[in-house]
Amino acid sequence: MPLTTLLSDLTPIPSYPAPSWETLRSVSIEDNGESLVPMSLAPAPIKVFPAYARMGIPGAIQECFVREGVYRALLAAARSLPEGIGIIVLDGWRPWRVQQYLFDTLHEAIQHQQPDLDEAALLERTREFVSVPSREPTAPSPHLTGGAVDVTLCDADGLPLDMGTLFDEALPASHSDYFEQLETLTSQQKKARDHRRLLFNTMKQQGFTNLPSEWWHYDFGDQLWAYYGAHDQACYGPAELDTIENRWRQQLA
């Protein structure tokens, strides 16, 4: 089947409300103990581009780690894509320091742009694109679990496909269903909409859920996944890299 025909037949991205963070925090976690594994081990058609490290963000690491279940689901998703299309992994497990930096930076930028916002509105606006940094065992930031992953699609040469906005753009157009809501679309917007549909349907088929405000953000096993996927509990809590320091700390505890 020609790619253009396949894309035109894809199911539209449904509209979901923003998460209720209070409800989300009440989702129980029973961590299954899976290790964090590097996505750079994955064969084609997966590519790894640790975006935050390449941007020079303090504390960012030169690898994208995810839980083993996420690794296998991502590989299955990539292998199910039409020939000539692959997945680029932009971020996975995220150190708490990086989460804090992203939150503070966006919070400050919004405050500068909209100085009349009260603190509650400012927090809500910031949370639209960056979750509150948390290492709490019962309510960790999604990326701290290794269950959240940021991805996009690429062509056969490894170049990103047009998704309508860049990764991490804090704009209404970054909402996954943005192009589904427009009455008329340009040819370029239709292409971006179809690429988002392909990514969404491919990831959904492998059990991922999507954060509605970010076309690139998908979850598997964490509290957001349990919330949007109607699962009884999450299976990933806070995770740490297998460093020699962490090993010794655990062994000597």
pLDDT of res. 9: 77
Instruction: Name the percent of the chain lying above pLDDT 90.
Output: 92
- The values of phi and psi at residue 88, to 5°, are -105, 125
d(CA 65, CA 62): 10
Per CATH, the architecture of 3-94+140-252 is what? 2-Layer Sandwich (3.30)
- The values of phi and psi at residue 209, to 5°, are -115, 160
Amino acid at 251: Q
Of the pLDDT bands very low, low, confident and very high (cuts 50, 70, 90), residue 5 is low
- 214 included as an active-site residue: yes
What are the pLDDT digits (tens) for 136-180?
999 999 999 999 999 999 999 999 999 999 999 999 999 999 999
**Residue ranges of domains in the chain:** 3-94+140-252
User: Which is catalytic among the residues 180, 214, 240, 245?
Assistant: 214
Q: Over range 44-71, report the average pLDDT.
A: 97
As a whole number, the mean pLDDT across the chain is 94
d(CA 130, CA 104): 9
Crossing angle (nearest 10°) for helices 119-127 and 96-113:
120
d(CA 52, CA 15): 28
What are the pLDDT digits (tens) for 12-37?
999 999 999 999 999 999 999 999 99
Answer positive or negative: Cα dihedral of 253, 223, 67, 178. negative
Q: How far is CA 92 from CA 49, 141, 252, in A?
A: 11, 12, 29
pTM summary value: 0.94
Please state the residue numbers annotated as binding site.
Answer: 143, 150, 217
Please state the residue numbers annotated as binding site for Zn(2+).
Answer: 143, 150, 217
